[in-house]
Amino acid sequence: DAAGVKALAILNAKAFRNFRPGGVKVLGGTLILEPGLTEKDFEELAGEGVKTVKIGLGKVFKPEHGAAQMVAWARKYGIKSMMHTGGTSLAEVPVVTADDVLAVNPDVACHINGGPTAPPIPDVEKLVKQGAMALEIVQCGNPKVAAEALRMAKENNALGRVIFGNDAPSGTGVIPLGILRNIAFAASICGIPAEVAIAMATGNTAKVYELPRGLVKPGLEADLIVMDKPVGSVGGDALKALEAGDLPGIALIMVDGEVKTLRSRNTPPPLRKVELVKG
């Protein structure tokens, strides 16, 4: 019910504001849209720090359910809206079409290559050509449709709208390094320059969700990764390794200007190691 989803969203938003294992930043507390929510609720949620809403997991998942009105209320109070796209992941939720998404007009069309089942390719084309929302491509989806979506975005000058997600855990399971795998897929299989693929995963995401990070820019949070080509890669550096289809070796992770870890245990070893020198 409306009171229950409000309480869960506020609880999780506040919990993840203070719970930072390993320095990780989680934009938690997404509100699941349910019948009975009013404009006053969205004003209250924004005041309590809720930043996102999701259309498609509750009982509000179609334009006729009032989804467009709730999205408008969310936008009025600075809350970003994300909408399920394509085949259902829950038995009681019907398929969401491109026409549904265009009518509701969310900020993000989620997993346009399937979450986990993809919409028809003509639906993806309609979202690319007729919509203005961000287009999320995920690891736990359909790779063929992901390639088609990226091709369409490239041909229609819409790469600035593409963001990457993992969509895990899901019915597909859990895939580690999902964002890096998306970058490598785009750079190697889809012919997108590696630096552009990285920008889609970082800067585009920051722009869509208005995050104070994701760009290397004075005044923003210093959340940075140092990476190199993995040992044995045919690529000459990290970018060329990605374009060859290899995952780079992560050599250092920094959060808020503080080094959190050096060499990753989840990626291949980087060719060069980071040396920390005390100043």
Give tens-digit pLDDT for 51-106: 999 998 888 988 888 999 999 999 999 999 999 999 987 777 778 999 999 999 99
Regarding whether 58 and 27 lie in a shared domain, the answer is yes
For residue 187, give every residue at least 6 positions away whose Cβ sits within 8 Å of its Cβ, in sequence order, or none: 193, 194, 197, 239, 242, 243, 245
Using alpha carbons, select from 14, 76, 83, 26 the residue that is nearest to residue 53.
83
3-state secondary structure of 56: coil
Q: Which of 166, 192, 217 is the last residue of a domain?
A: 217
Residue that terminates a domain, selected from 217, 239, 258: 217
Q: What is the CATH number of the domain that holds 252?
A: 2.30.40.10
Q: Are residue 71 and residue 191 in the same domain, yes or no?
A: no
pLDDT of res. 62: 83
Range of the domain at 190: 84-217
Question: CB–CB of 230/268 below 8 Å?
Answer: yes
Q: How many domains in the chain?
A: 3
Distance CA 63, CA 103 (A): 6
Q: Same domain, yes or no, for 25 and 74?
A: yes
CATH, residue 101: 3.20.20.140
Average pLDDT, integer, range 167-182: 88
Same domain, 93 and 125: yes
**Whether 208 and 158 share a structural domain:** yes
Q: Does residue 189 carry a pLDDT above 80? A: yes
Query: Looking at 80, 104, 125, which one is the last position of a domain?
Result: 80
92 plus 192 within the same structural domain? yes
